[in-house]
Amino acid sequence: MTGSINVIGYALATLGPAIGVAMIFSSAINGIARQPEARGALMGAVYIGFAVVEALAILGFVLAFVIR
């Protein structure tokens, strides 16, 4: 059996952030559908939330290279 267990580690690290970012955008889409004029106020919170959740997956990507 070859390969590195770090790849499985990164794979598991995408599970939560992928669902999380989808939840954030999903809420934003529902909110914009209900009140299109609130779009500007919404998207500020969306971008902050997206950045901090996506960062968790990117840290897993970095970790797979750094740790041996």
Residues 42-61 that bind a copy of itself (CB under 8 A): 42-43, 45-46, 48-50, 52-54, 56-57, 59-61
Sign of CA dihedral 39, 40, 45, 47: positive
Number of residues that bind a copy of itself (CB under 8 A): 59
Closest CA to 19 of 46, 45, 53, 42: 53
CB of 51 to a copy of itself, least distance (A): 10
SS (H, E, C) 33-51: HHCHHHHHHHHHHHHHHHH
- Contacts with a copy of itself by CB under 8 A lie at 1-36, 38-39, 41-43, 45-46, 48-50, 52-54, 56-57, 59-61, 63-65, 67-68
